[in-house]
Amino acid sequence: MRTALSCMILTVLFALTGCSNYKELNELSIVLGLGIDYLPNKDMYEVTYQVVNPSENAAKSTGSGTTPVIDFKTTGKTLSEAAMNHANVFSRRNIHSHIQLVVIGEKLARKESLNFVFDIFERDANVRVNIPVLVARNSDVKTLLDTLVSIDKIPVRTLEGKLENASLILGEHGDTKIYDVIEDLTNLGSEPAISGVTIVGNKKTGITKKNLESMDKTYVALNGIGVFKEGMLVGWMDGQKTKSLQIIDNKIKKTFLRIPCDEKHYNALVINRLRSHSHVDITKNQAEINVQVQGYGFISELLCNKDISKREVLQEYEDKAVLELEKEIKEGIRAAQKMKSDVFGFGEILHYSHPRKWNDYSEQWDEVFSKAKVTVHASIDIEGVGMRIKPYPY
């Protein structure tokens, strides 16, 4: 009886004491987006926070007419200092566990290695490392995050959605996470590649409510792939060749190809299944990169006036699609070779397949990679032509 009574008393005491780190919701701010930039005139880091404005996001609230998010920035000689300085400018304590996106400024990416940026993410247990990363291209991070959007209330969710769509539908932009960047920074024979994002339109109008009231809106759009070397941004890869990164890494889910039939007209081919295999070797100081690709797809648009019910016509289109795919892959690899940055991870493949040869060439791999002989062999099967066989006459 005494034992039962003692247990009951202890339970009540523990319940009354509560949690020592307990905080009311109105004392906290939920951070959804984080931007990191560099101020060359001050030689300091600038951290931009995008936090939820509760009064504008409540389900039954009419709001006060202000923006659904609040952006504010802090500075410091280190990222930790800048992060802690938020206490001087914001009334609530930040929660970082709900961050959905991290944007790195182009000036910072060109100034110093990402090792100095992402060190804090690995050390802080409150920040997840499965967060997408983007590089602000031709714009400062604060202005980019401040640009108001009309469909999604919260700007970082718009960026996250565009990145996901481009990865799923186009295959031109990979959904690069923090842990992907860290892995490329620490692994031998690979470098990071991060999608860029830029502001299209009037930057001054984009950060005001006039942008929501105008049909000709300022908006943010994905723009190229940032190529890094030794953790620093060295250039950009643009256009169709950016698909090569996702193809070689076997991360592509869907993409399209243009099949030329004359100087003005093309067929459109959607690739919905694609696998690749890469082999790397070195013979007599010459690196050889061989890429094998197998793709399957269907015709989504037919502007060439030929009878696709005939097998020889489909074979012609398959052959032309192969040439187009091989061209895009080769152009992507050549672009990286010019920047002497192995963002494809071919050095890592050589490391695992031929460790002794890798040991001999690892220190000068960037130079060896830039002069490597590249061979691409592709094969494409057209499995469908849609609901119509005959093209429209013209």
CA distance 259 to 108: 40
CA distance 100 to 105: 17
Each of the 394 residues of the chain gets a pLDDT tens digit; together they read: 555 555 554 454 444 445 555 555 556 778 888 999 988 888 899 999 888 776 665 544 555 556 777 888 889 998 889 888 877 877 777 777 788 899 999 999 998 888 888 888 877 767 788 899 999 999 889 889 888 877 777 888 888 888 988 888 888 898 899 999 999 998 888 999 999 999 998 887 787 777 776 777 888 999 999 999 999 999 999 999 999 999 999 999 899 999 988 778 888 999 999 999 999 999 999 999 999 999 999 999 888 888 888 899 999 999 999 999 999 999 999 999 999 999 999 999 999 999 999 999 999 999 999 999 999 999 999 998 877 777 766 6
Superfamily of domain 239-394: Nutrient germinant receptor protein C, domain 3 (3.30.300.210)
CA distance 301 to 254: 16
| CB contact at 8 A, 237 and 228 | no
pTM: predicted TM-score of the whole model, two decimal places? 0.86
369-374-377-383 Cα dihedral, nearest 10 degrees: 60
pLDDT for 224 equals 94
pLDDT for 195 equals 95
CA distance 99 to 96: 6
| CB contact at 8 A, 123 and 59 | no
Q: Which helix (H) or strand (E) holds 45?
A: strand 44-52
Parse the chain into domains and list their residue ranges. Answer: 24-237, 239-394
pLDDT for 249 equals 93
| CB contact at 8 A, 250 and 186 | no
CA distance 261 to 283: 40
Burial of 58 (0-12, 13-18, 19+ CB in 10 A): exposed
Residue whose C-alpha is closest to residue 85's, from 96, 95, 73:
73
What DSSP letter does each residue of 70-105 carry, written as one string?
A: EEEEEEESSHHHHHHGGGGT-SSEEE-TT--EEEEE
